[in-house]
Structure 1
Amino acid sequence: MLASIGYAVAYTGVGIVLLTLGFLVLDLLTPGRLGRHIHEERSVNAGLVLATGFLGQGAVVFAAIWTNATNGFGEALLYTVVFGVLGVVLQAVAFVVLDVITPGKLGAHVTEVAFHPASLVLAAVQLSVAAIIIASIWP
């Protein structure tokens, strides 16, 4: 049981680091401070996009752990880090691609206080990218 507690702590620590990395990358892709847009300006758009980014990233981390746990702790942890970082990078790439192919500036739309449908589109893109990564992990 102590080993399982240790694994849970290690995986959770890696997961928190990956979620933080995802937040920081999304913060770089949007104008201003993402936390301020959510907490002070109460931007539902920014909250929705960040929440779906977290859900997608969490699902990628879950899939990496779940599918590799029988390979041993070290290998499963490595898979979790590699696919977690890949998830952050590919979600950022999808953000940039969506920004290029749609009118306006996606980052500005996502941080608006008034609802903007672009936030739903970006949320769907983030979850779709996560699903694709999960499908590549699952045997």
Structure 2
Amino acid sequence: MIELVTDLGVTLGYAGIGLVLMGIGAVLVDVATPGSLRHLIWAERNANAAVLLVSNLVAVGVIVVTAISASDGHFAQGIASTTGYGVIGLLAMTVAFVVVDMMTPGKLGELLVHPEPHPAVWVSAAVHLAIGAIVSAAIL
């Protein structure tokens, strides 16, 4: 029974870190795009904004899962590496956004929340997912 309680506590710890990192990722996407991301997705049903946010959340999730797997049952080390690699992933996604924005005519954030489908959102989503994969590979 003690092992079960311990395992549940460890799971809660990792879930908490994952939620915090995904929350930070959502805030970063919101800051990078004009208007309220929440309003764009839930009220205006903006598919571009949703794809951008989803790609960020999935990328962070992949990093968190990989860091947990690589921790090999060492909770303190696992929490530290999950947090560290998660932050690195978020920073790398932010830098990538800035770089893509510099290479894009106009403001990338505005293109990504345009009400009509825009191919720029798929480019940005692919960048998020690629960064998540790269950071995950670095963990292993």
Give the alignment partner of residue 17 of structure 1, picking from 17, 20, 26.
20
| Residue 73 (structure 1) aligned with residue 64 (structure 2) | no
TM-score when normalising by structure 1: 0.96
* 1: CA distance, partners of 2:108 / 2:43: 20
* 2: CA distance, partners of 1:90 / 1:113: 27
Partner deviation per Cα, 1:85-124 (whole Å, 9 max, x = no partner): 1111111111111010121211001111110000001000
- TM-aligned CA deviation for residue 53 of structure 1: 0.6
Consecutive unaligned residues in structure 1, runs of 5 or more: none
User: Which 4+ stretches in 1 moved above 4 angstroms?
Assistant: none
Consecutive unaligned residues in structure 2, runs of 5 or more: none
- TM-aligned CA deviation for residue 69 of structure 1: 2.9
The amino acid that maps onto 1:83 is: Y
Q: What fraction of aligned residue pairs are identical, expressed as a percent?
A: 37
The amino acid that maps onto 1:43 is: N
TM-score when normalising by structure 2: 0.95
| Residue 58 (structure 1) aligned with residue 61 (structure 2) | yes
The amino acid that maps onto 1:14 is: I
* 1: CA distance, partners of 2:83 / 2:119: 32
Residue pairs, 1:1-139, within 5 angstroms: 1-70=4-73, 72-138=74-140
Partner-residue secondary structure (3-state), 2:72: helix
CA-based RMSD = 0.8
